[in-house]
Structure 1
Amino acid sequence: MKTPFPSYLQRFQRVLRHIDEHLGEGLGLDVLAGVAAFSPHHFHRQFTALLGVPPGRYVQLVRLKRATWRLAFRDAPVLEVALDSGYQGPEAFTRAFRQQTGQSPSAFRRQPDWAAWQAGYRPVSDIRRNFMTDAFAPVRVIDAPDIPVAVLEHRGDPATLGDSVRSFIQWRRAAGLAPRLSATYNIFHDDPDQTDPADFRLDICAAAARVPANDLGVRAGIIPGGRCAVLRHVGTDEGFGAAIRHLYADWLPSSGQDLRDFPLYCQRVAFFPDVPEHEAITDIFLPLK
């Protein structure tokens, strides 16, 4: 496929962002075609040809992703999640959710089948990775302080990371350390694209002065202070890898800086599903000597 002209591509990027911003509103063909400034008939054909899925199916998948995150990581009632996903009631929502994930919403909330969900969501993930790229923010160099943290180590397939996140949320709630009170961090020991899934390592952290004994495997740790390059990534997790590659491949070789012996880490400043995916904010820290 030939690369579309930038102005043509921007019209569809505008549609994708409009969908993220208005998931709880009407997103019919006429509305989306108007955002793109195409006729509805041609817009449907153009969207499907360029992105690989019909616009209605794309909207459904994005809404269902937000629903899965709210079911897995938040306490919203199923009826509220159904209505916010554009369904008139829980029955229609349950049918669509089961067709997509193989589980009912209640079963998913109890024990998510992440592999089935990720397989069904892959078309949207590919669209976001390929078509929702933004310019990188300027890189800053700062002196970061030592950060005492509570740490839950995730070891194993990245596809099961959601289970570790759920355990960490359970610990945070019991400890009274909501994200608004305690900053959230991830420490990236491995690149999921370059590591065997069984060997993948990532630490889920929250700022905490002390960590009481617990049965969830959460321990006390520290993110050591020092000089860091910081890149703010605003957008979906699909663009996260490109931001990290920019730090390593573009910024670092031209900076004259050397790396410190500590893994790359990030602070989740504002995260989905509490904000729309394209408004999620993540500060990426590259430790420097």
Structure 2
Amino acid sequence: MGVKMAFEIELTHLPSVRLAGLPHKGPYPTIGPIFQELAGLIPEPSWVEVEGAAMIGHDDPREVAPEELRSHACFLVGEGFAMFPPLEEIRYPAGNYAVMRVKGPYSLLPEAYRWLSEEWFPASGQRHRDLPAYEVYLNDPANTKPEDLLTEIRLPLKG
């Protein structure tokens, strides 16, 4: 019998977010090289506008074949960041969000999303805004042990 995980959700109002991203198609766990490509595109002076890393998964992996999953590897950027091809600008509006913090290896994220969508959300009484959830990486896997990684999953809500 597997271990049942429980997560905590904070309902909060978040400011708008601007992201600079590169698209990826394939299993979500294979997006790592796209982050490396993204980092290699950012000119040195522009790094002052980079506020963190994020990933948007556009599809539900329970409904879409792994090789067809669409996602974006992104950096959260300030308004002073100049977009340039091949970067795609993505914006999330200010509003209410369900925020779940996950501590541990990224391999925990599929279970966190499952819990969020199948257990918490149906019982919450909340309504989902027509935007995919996105995850923000609060520390760097290059210098953080897997068990200490912190990821926020931010689910846009109506109202």
TM-score for the superposition, normalised by structure 1: 0.49
Length, aligned pairs only: 156
Match of 2:87 in 1: 218
After TM superposition, give the deviation of residue 270 of structure 1 in Å. 1.3
How large is the RMSD of aligned CA atoms in angstroms?
2.4
After TM superposition, give the deviation of residue 221 of structure 1 in Å. 2.4
1:171 partnered with 2:44: no
Given that residues 139 and 231 in structure 1 are in contact (C-alpha distance below 8 angstroms), is that contact kept between their aligned partners in structure 2? yes
Match of 2:12 in 1: 142
**Which secondary structure does the structure 2 equivalent of 1:227 belong to?**
strand
| Paired amino acid for 2:109 | F
**Which secondary structure does the structure 2 equivalent of 1:261 belong to?**
coil
After TM superposition, give the deviation of residue 194 of structure 1 in Å. 3.4
Given that residues 234 and 278 in structure 1 are in contact (C-alpha distance below 8 angstroms), is that contact kept between their aligned partners in structure 2? yes
Residue in structure 2 matching 1:206, options 75, 84, 99? 75
Match of 2:22 in 1: 152
Q: Percent identity?
A: 25
1:279 partnered with 2:148: yes
Match of 2:98 in 1: 229
Q: 1:91-170 alignment to 2 at 5 Å?
A: 135-158=5-28, 160-170=30-40
CA distance in 1 between counterparts of 2:101 and 2:35 reads 22
Greater RCO (Cα-Cα under 8 Å, separation 6 or more): 2
Residue in structure 2 matching 1:267, options 120, 136, 152? 136
Given that residues 211 and 220 in structure 1 are in contact (C-alpha distance below 8 angstroms), is that contact kept between their aligned partners in structure 2? no
CA distance in 2 between counterparts of 1:154 and 1:175 reads 26
Question: Please, which runs of 5 or more residues in structure 2 have no aligned partner?
Answer: none
CA distance in 2 between counterparts of 1:228 and 1:172 reads 29
Q: Deviations over 1:18-37 (max 9, x none)?
A: xxxxxxxxxxxxxxxxxxxx
Given that residues 172 and 178 in structure 1 are in contact (C-alpha distance below 8 angstroms), is that contact kept between their aligned partners in structure 2? no
| Paired amino acid for 2:115 | H
**Which secondary structure does the structure 2 equivalent of 1:183 belong to?**
strand
Given that residues 9 and 100 in structure 2 are in contact (C-alpha distance below 8 angstroms), is that contact kept between their aligned partners in structure 1? yes
Question: Please, which runs of 5 or more residues in structure 1 have no aligned partner?
Answer: 4-129
Q: Deviations over 1:188-219 (max 9, x none)?
A: 101335322342111111122233424xx212
Given that residues 31 and 73 in structure 2 are in contact (C-alpha distance below 8 angstroms), is that contact kept between their aligned partners in structure 1? no
TM-score for the superposition, normalised by structure 2: 0.84
Given that residues 152 and 164 in structure 1 are in contact (C-alpha distance below 8 angstroms), is that contact kept between their aligned partners in structure 2? yes
CA distance in 2 between counterparts of 1:178 and 1:203 reads 21
Match of 1:105 in 2: none
Larger radius of gyration: 1
